[in-house]
Amino acid sequence: MNQQELKKLVGQAALKYVKEGEILGVGTGSTVDCFIDALKVSGMKIPACVSSSERSTQKLLSYGFKVLDLNEVERIGVYVDGADEIDSNFAMIKGGGGALTREKIVAMVSDRFVCIADASKKVDVLGKFPLPIEVIPMAVRAVSREIEKLGGKPVLRDFTTDNGNKILDVHGWSIENPIQWEEHLNQIVGVVTVGLFAKRGADVLLLGTENGVKTFSA
Ligand code: 5RP
């Protein structure tokens, strides 16, 4: 099976966690696109979704799903999203698609985070995938200097987030203690969000492998 087939497999598998009649949190990325496709085909009755990006919002609306602003919603039962890397404690690097800030906000108000990923995303130590950090535009150089002091190599992505900010992709870190790194990097003035999801990691991992979908629970 190629990577796209594995993404479809886990997108389909995530339907098991969706509860009809409940507001659903929907993440961003090509794996989530497969999930949204599967959701549409399933015909499940979802009163509304809360989305983590304009991209997912447009896709959901095009399929006839209602999308609510998070300010209209108090709690979300289940949030389905992908990851760029995930370790054995279910800490993740996210933000490859640039939606990390909204993803972290939706994850915060969700009772259950279901991570869907193909097998290539499972790692022992986070950091091979460059860590995305969303930054206020005027702070790009200042934050870059702080990151360099910590041994990271920041690369400015040619991209503007849904929130009007920039993203630095940081190479060269091996992240053994993701909770501490998340806390530390979030303290740098000018950083909006670091793409480490360790303090609030995933609760369930659906991993697409050659032998089918493997389920891991926190
Ligand atoms: C977007 C994300 C995505 O979940 C992550 O980049 C994985 O994407 P894909 O499913 O396309 O591999 O964090 O900001």
- Distance from C-alpha of 218 to C-alpha of 216, rounded to nearest angstrom: 7
Whole-number Å distance, alpha carbon 150 to ligand 1 midpoint, is 25
- Distance from C-alpha of 135 to C-alpha of 144, rounded to nearest angstrom: 10
pTM: 0.97
Share of the chain above pLDDT 70, in %: 100
CB 81 within 8 A of CB 52: yes
Does ligand 1 have an atom closer than 6 angstroms to the CB of 30? yes
Model pLDDT, residue 11: 98
Model pLDDT, residue 218: 87
CB 10 within 8 A of CB 207: yes
Nearest CA among 175, 174, 154 for reference residue 166: 154
What digits encode the pLDDT tens for the residues 135-194?
Answer: 999 999 999 999 999 999 999 999 999 999 999 999 999 999 999 999 999 999 999 999
Does ligand 1 have an atom closer than 6 angstroms to the CB of 130? no
- 183 classed as catalytic: no
Q: How far is CA 79 from CA 116, 199, 206, in A?
A: 11, 16, 13
Model pLDDT, residue 137: 98
Does ligand 1 have an atom closer than 6 angstroms to the CB of 182? no
Which one of 5, 74, 85, 103 is the catalytic residue?
Answer: 103
Q: Whose CA is nearest to atom 10 of ligand 1?
A: 31
In this prediction, residues 102-112 reach a mean pLDDT of 98
What digits encode the pLDDT tens for the residues 9-63?
Answer: 999 999 999 999 999 999 999 999 999 999 999 999 999 999 999 999 999 999 9
Nearest CA among 52, 58, 62, 54 for reference residue 24: 52
Closest ligand 1 atom to 121 CA:
12
Closest ligand 1 atom to 117 CA:
10
Helix (H, G, I), strand (E, B) or coil at 4: helix
Whole-number Å distance, alpha carbon 33 to ligand 1 midpoint, is 10
